[in-house]
Amino acid sequence: MPPTTLSDRATHMNMIPPPASSPSSHGKDFVEVVVVRHGETSANTLRIIQGQMDVELNETGRQQAVMVARRLSREAKPSAVYSSDLKRAAETAQTIATACNVSNLVLNPALRERHMGDLHGLKFDDAIRSKPDAWKAFSSDDRSQEIPGVGRALINCLSAASIEELCWHADHPTNSARRRIPNTSICIFHISATNGHWTLERFGDIAHLNEDGFLQHAFGGDGASA
Clarify whether 113 is annotated catalytic.
yes
pLDDT (tens digit per residue) in 84-120: 999 999 999 999 999 999 998 999 888 888 778 888 8
- Residue 110 within any structural domain of the chain: yes
Amino acid at 29: D
Question: How many residues are recorded in the chain?
Answer: 226
Quote the CA–CA distance of 187 and 205 in Å, as a whole number: 7
Phi, psi at 32, each rounded to 5°: -100, 125
pLDDT (tens digit per residue) in 170-192: 655 455 445 678 898 898 888 88
- Residue 161 within any structural domain of the chain: yes
Phi, psi at 219, each rounded to 5°: 60, 15
Q: Model pTM?
A: 0.72
Query: Cα 156–160–166 angle (5° rounding)?
Result: 165
Domains of the chain: total: 1
Pick the catalytic residue: 12, 38, 120, 190?
Answer: 38
Task: Tell me whether residue 115 is annotated as binding.
Answer: no
Clarify whether 75 is annotated catalytic.
no
Assign residue 205 the CATH number of its domain: 3.40.50.1240
Task: Tell me whether residue 114 is annotated as binding.
Answer: no
End-to-end CA distance of the chain: 32
Task: Tell me whether residue 41 is annotated as binding.
Answer: yes
Pick the catalytic residue: 32, 113, 164, 165?
Answer: 113
Burial class (CB in 10 A: 0-12, 13-18, 19+), 209: buried
Assess contact for 83 and 12: CB atoms under 8 A.
no
Burial class (CB in 10 A: 0-12, 13-18, 19+), 88: buried
Average pLDDT over residues 31-60: 92
Residue 34 lies in domain: 30-218
- Residue 23 within any structural domain of the chain: no
69: number of CA atoms within 13 Å, CB side? 23
> Where is pLDDT greater, at 73 or 170?
73
Task: Tell me whether residue 43 is annotated as binding.
Answer: yes
Task: Tell me whether residue 44 is annotated as binding.
Answer: yes
- Residue 174 within any structural domain of the chain: yes
Quote the CA–CA distance of 69 and 73 in Å, as a whole number: 6
- Residue 24 within any structural domain of the chain: no
